[in-house]
Structure 1
């Protein structure tokens, strides 16, 4: 059983799509918890954690273009 599933089982945590599921800390520590803030629609995370978890494809392309000169020929 995964550490996260074990955490849910031991702490009787009910998974909900209304609260942010971003993990905070080590799942094996007593103070481990999930963010719990309100999620964005159809996302498992709040705004803050969506900004970390998801990368905009446009930004990736811009970043790749700006670093082309660093790639060895």
Structure 2
């Protein structure tokens, strides 16, 4: 499960699946940031465009680091 991208169907945010904590799946925004919890029933797999968007966000964040 961990490391894949998924979309939180409640609000459309894409995140990298970090693991599961209790009844929730934990997602982290592309490029880092604060994780959030999502009920498994609200998740959907990330499509090709979602994954591309996430990878571009990660690359942009990495380019800003010193």
Q: TM-score, normalised by structure 2?
A: 0.24
Using CA pairs under 8 Å that are at least 6 residues apart, name the structure with larger relative contact order, 1 or 2. Answer: 2
Larger proportion of strand: 2
What is the TM-score with the length of structure 1 in the denominator? 0.23
